[in-house]
Amino acid sequence: MEVLKKEIPTIWTTGWTDIMNTGTWRSAMPIYQKRKSPCQDICPVNGEIPTWLQNLKSENLEEAWLEIVAKNPFPAVTGRVCHHPCESKCNRKEYDGEVGINSLEQFLGDLAIEKGWSLPKPSQEMEERVAVIGGGPAGLSCAYQLRKAGYQVTIFEEQPELGGLLRFAIPEYRLPKAVLAKELERLLELGFNVELNRKIITKEDFEQLRREYSAVFVAVGAYKAKSLPQLENTAMKVWFCLDFLAQVKKGEKPDIGRKVVVIGGGNAAIDSARTALRLGAKVKVLSLEDRADLPAINTEVVDGEREGIIYYHGAMVTGVEPIGTDSYMLKCVKVVFKPSDTDRFPKTVVLKDTEFELQADSVILAIGQEPDTTPFPSELVSAVGLLGSGLMENQGLFVGGDSSSLNRYVSAAIADGKNQASKIIEYMKGNKGASEGNQNEQVNQTVDSEPVKFSEVNTFYFPIMPKVNREIRSESNSLSGFAEIKAGLSQAEAIQESSRCFSCGHCISCNNCFYFCPDQAVVKNSDLCGEYHILEQYCKGCGLCVEECPRGAVTLKEEAR
Amino acid sequence: MMISYNIPEEKVFLSGHNACPGCGEALALRYILNTLGPETVGVVPPSCIAIISGPQPYSSMRIPVYQTTLEASAASAAGIKRALDVQGKTQVNVVALAGDGGTYDIGFQALSAAAERNEDIIYICLDNEGYMNTGAQKSSATPWLAYTTSTPGGKPTGKKNVAEIMAAHEIPYVATATVGFPDDLTAKIRKAKEMKGMRFIVVLTPCLAGWGVPDSQAVRVSRLAVDTGIFPLYEVENGRKYTLNWEPRGIPVDTYLRTQSRYKHLTADQIEEIQQEVNRNMTYLREKQ
Amino acid sequence: MTAHRKLLSGNHAVSYGVMLAKPKVIPVYPITPQTPILEKITELQTAGELDADIMTAESEHSAMAACITASLTGVRVFTATASQGLMLMHEMLHYASGARAPIIMANVNRTIGSPWAFWPDQTDSLAQRDCGWIQYYCETGQESLDTVIQAFKVAEQVMLPAMVIHEAFYVSHSVEPVEIPGQETVDEYLPPFTPEHRLDPAIGESWGNVVNQEMYYRHRQDMGRAMEHVCDLAQKADQAWQELTGRGYGIMEEYCCDDAKVVLATMGGLAGTAREAVDILRQKGLKVGLLKVKLFRPFPVFQVRKILSAIPKVIVMDRNYAPGTGGFLHQEIKAALYGLANSPEVHGYLVGVGGVNVSPENIMDLVNRAMAETAFPESVWVG
């Protein structure tokens, strides 16, 4: 009878479905893709913002900082003065407020100073020497990237100290000298040949350098101030903003009188205005640009207003008349003006019957500067009076920073220095006729061109959490001197704020794709932390992993069958 | 902070099963079986679950599974548990995995009786609000006005509140859960696993084909069901102790209804009526806490 | 305890048989006239004489559902029912045999509604003849007790469920002296139930997945093959039991058939009355015999043909009725004899349907009537 029992198992189930090939049902396959976040996309230095924010959130603080300084050696500086377009593009802005990336950069920058963290040392030493003319943000950034790659760099600076605008123009209340000094000191530890008080004056001077160095990078800034013809024939005190700011930074107190009108709409204008406030003046700012088009950093404009600046946007001065001995009446009119990056003289349309007057003891002019191009070959100077990028690169001559661009932000200058350094390295490798391992940072680049959109973020996973702002010191204190206005975040605040990051397009190993696969076709790679792969045998292509990725780091790709 | 999951899983539910792509029920089975672990015997009545569990001679569940008749899940599970107990295998979980038809409708007599006897089983209703395996006919779990092939004009009556009915049996544990909240679901399974006596969990599992939802949306739809208050996540211990496990985010029901073609015929007035009903239900539930 | 005699109703006799067979799980639901079986079982369990888990289900359907799974989980299972309860189980009866669950169920034959009635009538269980269950029909409480134990032995060898059936009141509630065998005797006769395949996480096998056409075909074929062995196994089981206890019944009983010109064929309690009628008729010189069909499923076609091949007339008495076909036994015997050379003339009489009393005199009248008429193809209402 045992025989009978043995026949029974036709109805017992002893096999497993994992031998099945349900992947054949699929018409699309999910792929993991490191995609551009909008912050990184707009970041002038192409900063790996989501990556370092995640490190910060996980309290891997030095790693976070190292990620920043891979592209920018001055996070404590830019954490204060960057115009941070990353925040205006931040996808979280549409949800419950952008992530305070700038304040987090400051936090890490300050922490690095406090902890004495060092920049990464060159991994190798190269023979080639590169001359960097100009020790401002662009020059220093370029020098840093070249040194990091092992090249021998000489920095030529006409001033007695390095830093450029960072040192001579940006007011103390925004960027304390000590912060800059620390970051410069740390940079110089990498080993540069620095020649201070060395101005390249003549073409001959310059050609001499070109002969001595394998490549030359010119980033001399734009210090030649534009003047306003309407103010030329008057006894009125007119300051050029950079001169004014430099004097104040030196500790001097320029006699600007009680009523000051600043003309201009950029950061130098707002810096000048707020500096004048601190010297006790009543300040008005007159800009050609409308409020929305002001090139100045918005928070600066707002902070200035809060401090008492009165703005006249979309207006210009047409003339000036004295009132008594020390004061003047500025004749003004409303205009329509559209700024342009390419047009040196954008069109200004005067609006009829909009004349008005402003009383002023002095005027600070912040309407733009141009580079001094005297020492450089005429082929290098573009039609708009700037040093032209890309014009003489094949001859080892590279340009960058304010002297070659109207996009005059500190971060843009740092970015320029970094990008030109890449080109210089490429140029020198090309000269050698060898490619010694691609050190190009493009390796890490993302696959598709479009940054992750807000609609691709699954906001369920991000409970509403308001932004943590840097505390502003009380008004009376802030206007009484040049102490820094904004207090940096505490570590707890910084970590909290960093946790708000959606990490758009950047997988943070949250495991959602893994947990939400009904077919268990997503596998965690135990040997590669933070990576997943799809089992093609099982994946039915439903797209749940794509939908439930909080950050758009998984996409579906159609499969032709 | 973001919401993230950390779910300990043991692979009891296998790949290669026959669920539709993106199936909410398959996802629920993954969480349930992988949380219960291998020391489990399953009971499955006719349903999509029976299809998912695999064609002979293959099973997608690495535990013994007995496929029973549509109305007999609770009784069948009770028979297994009692037979295990008399053999001294008291540590083995017995879980019934039934659909809403097999629970709310035809299987309710056996279920209620098992609850009354406080059978030492875990009964899980995978509720996709209709007879989806037979082509989307209405069950008593189908909500008011929902289109099914047997209610083409919309269901004229409301959804039976099975959790409340089971709670009224004063069994040790009654809970609601859904695939959009896997940590809540698995926590409830773990909790149920540690308890003795009759445990009942109703898990809302969107049916993509039956509800008219795209393949990738099961989780989103299930979350909206919770966050609108249409399907609140709560548990009832011993018929008395109510706990609301997730405070709905107050999303209007319209947002949920619009994700599914079974509701596409609704008028603004009807949607408003559903909203009012959901509001009343939430108030009622909160008062019980 | 050693074998001892006790005055027991037929139902209580069943309960003692169950106690001795030691099932571990007993899902059960009350119904007249089965209830005394349930009551005695719970009484024995409460008294500590029966170590079984009794599940008081809310319906016969659930009781049978639990029987199937408990059996598949690897334990011996018993239940009891009657009439409507058996009807409600119908779906699960098929399910149980398909599951190859060797459940033993006592069924107390009772009329099925509508209209409501409580009387002995075998239609309830006979209507389940195609469910894949082994069916035993018993004449007395003693036979029911003995058959319960035998049924476990047979069922567990072929992995098919079995019904042990006796009639309402005439058998179920009649009190007679019954010998209760000793536990050691039963233990020697009935080995523990240890199925190789069962629902057990340590084994991991599942039961009941959807199968394809060929698998289903093969599955039914396997059930048939198992059923084919039952007559032989039941015969042997009965012989073994007889050797141990001195009591045997065969799968059918031939009484005075050797030289018989007329054989009465029937099942259950009516066999007792028929035996009395045979004795009286034999005293009157009429060569009458009795064929008591005990094992109805599988139907012992071979034995029936052998016993009845040289008999001129067979009178089938049915205490059951299927509208449109007549008496169940009548149909079965005619079918069994089909094609046999010298096939007897088969008279089918519907007697005792609905529990109507049938006396020895009634049976003698039937014999006289059959002697006087040619058999009709259909079952005939008498009385």
Domains of chain B: 24-288 (3.40.50.970)
> What six digits make up the tokens of B152?
């083409």
pLDDT at C279 over 60: yes
Kindly provide the residue ranges of all beta strands, DSSP E only, lying in chain C, ordered along the sequence: 4-9, 25-28, 53-56, 78-82, 104-109, 134-137, 162-167, 175-180, 206-207, 252-255, 262-266, 288-293, 295-297, 313-318, 345-350, 380-381
pLDDT given at position A543:
96
Look at residue A135 in the predicted model and tell me its pLDDT: 95
Q: Which fold has domain C252-381?
A: Rossmann fold (3.40.50)
Given a cut of 80, whether residue A9 has pLDDT beyond it is no
Instruction: Indicate whether C278 pLDDT > 90.
Output: yes
> Which of A:493-552 have CB within 8 Å of B?
499, 510-512, 515-521, 535, 537-538, 540-544, 546-548, 550
* Confidence bin at A487 (pLDDT 50/70/90): confident
pLDDT reading at A346 higher than 80: no
Please report residues of A whose CB lies closer than 8 A to that of B5: 510-512, 515
Inter-chain CB proximity C99 and A11 less than 8 Å:
yes
Considering only CB atoms, B66 lies closest to which of C27, C69, C204, namely: C69
Please tell me which of the candidates B56, B80, B89 has its beta carbon nearest to residue C69.
B80
Would you place residue A531 in the very low, low, confident or very high pLDDT band (cuts 50, 70, 90)?
confident
- Compute the nearest-CA separation of A11 from chain C (Å): 6
What confidence category does residue A384 fall into, taking pLDDT thresholds of 50, 70 and 90? confident
CB atoms within 10 A of CB A204: 9
Res. A393 pLDDT band, cuts 50 70 90: confident
Q: Is the pLDDT confidence value at A183 over 90?
A: yes
Are C329 and C130 in contact by the 8 Å Cβ rule? The answer is no
pLDDT tens-digit profile of A210-257?
A: 999 999 999 999 988 888 888 887 888 899 999 999 999 988 999 999
Given a cut of 90, whether residue C280 has pLDDT beyond it is yes
Can you list the alpha helix ranges (DSSP code H) found in C73-122?
A: 83-98
Distance from the Cα of A17 to chain C's closest Cα (Å) equals 12
Contact B60 A16 (CB under 8 A): yes
User: CA of A540: how far to CAs of A549, B182, C168, C291, in Å?
Assistant: 17, 21, 60, 66
A-B contacts at Cβ under 8 angstroms:
126
| Window from A324-338, B212-226, C175-189 with minimum mean pLDDT | A324-338
Does residue A113 surpass a pLDDT of 70? yes
Residue with the bigger pLDDT between A33 and B86: it is B86
Q: B150: alpha, beta or left, given left = phi > 0 and alpha = psi -120 to 50?
A: alpha
What is the model's pLDDT at position A519? Answer: 97
Residues 63-82 of B with CB under 8 A from C: 63-69, 71-72, 74-80, 82
In chain C, list all ranges with CATH 3.40.50.970: 4-244
Our CA-based measurement puts residue A7 at a distance from the nearest CA of chain C, in whole angstroms, of 7
pLDDT at B113: 98
Task: Identify all chain A residues contacting B23, using CB atoms and an 8 Å cutoff.
Answer: 518, 542
**Per-residue confidence (pLDDT) for residue A340, from 0 to 100:** 67
Please name the member of B4, B7, B214 whose beta carbon is closest to the beta carbon of A510.
B4
Are β-strands C288-293 and C252-255 bridged in parallel, bridged antiparallel, or unpaired?
antiparallel
Residues of chain B contacting residue A510, judged by C-beta atoms under 8 Å apart? 2, 4-5
The whole-number average pLDDT for the span B206-229 is 97
Are A436 and A70 contacting, i.e. CB atoms less than 8 angstroms apart? no
Which residue is it, tokens 């499923």?
C297
Residue of C nearest to B79 (CA): C66
Q: Which residue of C has its CA nearest to B78?
A: C66
Q: Give the residue among C382, C266, C383 at the shortest CA–CA distance from C330.
A: C266
CB A530 within 8 A of CB A508: yes
User: How far are the Cα atoms of A14, A52, A178, B7, C65 from residue B45, in angstroms, in the given order?
Assistant: 19, 52, 75, 28, 12
Q: Looking at the partner chain, which of B27, B216, B223 has a beta carbon nearest the beta carbon of A543? A: B216
Mean pLDDT over residues C119-143, rounded? 98
Cβ pair C315, C263 in contact under 8 A: yes
B residues 104-133 near C, CB within 8 Å?
A: 109-110, 112-113, 116-117
C-alpha B169/C-alpha B118 separation (Å) is 9
Average pLDDT across chain C, whole number: 97
CB contact under 8 A, C206 and A13: yes
pLDDT classification of B39: cutoffs 50, 70, 90: very high
What was the pLDDT predicted at A445? 43
State the burial class of residue A117 (Cβ atoms within 10 Å of its Cβ: 0-12, 13-18, 19+).
middle
**Which chain A residues have a beta carbon less than 8 Å from that of B62?**
16
Q: Which of A12, A17, A551 to mutate to test the interface with B (most CBs of B within 10 A)?
A: A17
User: Does residue A21 sit at the C interface (CB-CB below 8 Å)?
Assistant: no
Looking at residue A529, its pLDDT comes to 54
B6 contact A CB<8A: yes
Interface check for B11 against chain A (CB to CB < 8 A): the answer is yes
Condensed to tens digits (0 to 9), the pLDDT of residues A36-86 reads 999 999 999 999 999 999 999 999 999 999 999 999 999 999 999 999 999
Q: How far is CA C360 from CA A258, B47, C270, in A?
A: 139, 56, 10
Inform me whether the C-beta atom of residue A233 falls under 8 Å from chain C C-beta atoms.
no
Q: pLDDT tens digits, residue range C222-276?
A: 999 999 999 999 999 999 999 999 999 999 999 999 999 999 999 999 999 999 9
Percent of chain A predicted with pLDDT > 90: 70
Q: Encoding tokens for residue B243?
A: 């706990």
Q: Do B5 and A515 touch (CB under 8 A)?
A: yes
Lowest mean pLDDT among A303-317, B254-268, C108-122, C311-325: A303-317
Q: How far is B192 from chain C (nearest CA, A)?
A: 19
Dump pLDDT digits (tens) for C191-217. Answer: 999 999 999 999 999 999 999 999 999
The predicted pLDDT at position A477 comes to 61
> What residue ranges of chain C are covered by domains with CATH 3.40.50.920?
252-381
Confidence of residue A435 (pLDDT cuts 50, 70, 90): very low
Q: How far is C-alpha A40 from the geometric centre of its chain's CA atoms? A: 9
Provide the pLDDT for residue A443: 35
| Average pLDDT value for residue range B71-85 | 98
C218 at B interface, C-beta within 8 A: no
- With 60 as the cut, is the pLDDT of residue A476 above it? no
Which neighbouring-strand residues pair with A327?
Answer: A323
CA distances from B83 to B259, C15, C56 (A): 45, 20, 15
Mean pLDDT, chain A, whole residue set: 89
Q: What is the pLDDT of residue A438?
A: 40
Name the band, by pLDDT with cuts 50, 70 and 90, for residue A527.
low
C65 contact B CB<8A: yes
pLDDT at C144: 98
pLDDT score of B57 more than 60: yes
pLDDT higher than threshold 60 for residue A317: yes
pLDDT of residue A390: 81
Q: What is the pLDDT of residue A227?
A: 84
Q: What dihedral angle (degrees, nearest 10) is formed by the CA atoms of A36, A37, A39, A44?
A: -10
Token pair 């049915």: residue = C318
Task: Kindly state the average pLDDT of the residues A73-102.
Answer: 96
The CA–CA distances, whole Å, from C37 to C16, C107, C141, C165, C172 equal: 9, 10, 12, 12, 9
Residue C362 reports pLDDT greater than 80: yes
Q: Would you say residue A1 has pLDDT above 50?
A: no
Which CATH fold topology does C4-244 show?
Rossmann fold (3.40.50)
Q: Residue B61 forms beta bridges with which residues?
A: B13
Cβ-Cβ contacts under 8 Å for C78 (sequence gap 6 or more): C18, C21, C23, C26, C41, C52, C67, C103, C104, C105, C106, C148
- The predicted-structure confidence for C63-115, as pLDDT tens digits, reads as follows 999 999 999 999 999 999 999 999 999 999 999 999 999 999 999 999 999 99
Instruction: Tell me the pLDDT band of A3, cut-offs 50, 70 and 90.
Output: very low
Q: What is the 3-state secondary structure (H, E, C) of C319-349?
A: CCCECCCECHHHHHHHHHHCCCCCCCEEEEE
Of C56, C61, C212, nearest to B72 by CB-CB distance is: C61
The pLDDT tens digits of the residues spanning B173-192 come to 999 999 999 999 999 999 99
* Rounded CA separation A514/B211 (Å): 25
Residues of B in contact with C208 (CB under 8 A): 44, 65-68
Q: Which two tokens stand for residue A17?
A: 């479905």
* CB-based contact C207 A4, cutoff 8 Å: no
Q: Which positions in chain A touch C197 (Cβ < 8 Å)?
A: 8-9, 12
Tokens of A426: 């490429």
Indicate the pLDDT class of residue B98, thresholds 50, 70 and 90: very high
pLDDT at position A442 over 50: no
Of all residues in chain A, the one with the smallest CA distance to B224 is A460
- Which of A16, A461, A535 has its CB closest to that of B58? A16
Separation of alpha carbons B30 and A516, rounded Å: 9
Cβ <8 Å between B19 and A499? no
Is some CB atom of chain A closer than 8 A to the CB atom of B228?
no
- Touching partners of C (3+ C-beta pairs < 8 Å): A, B
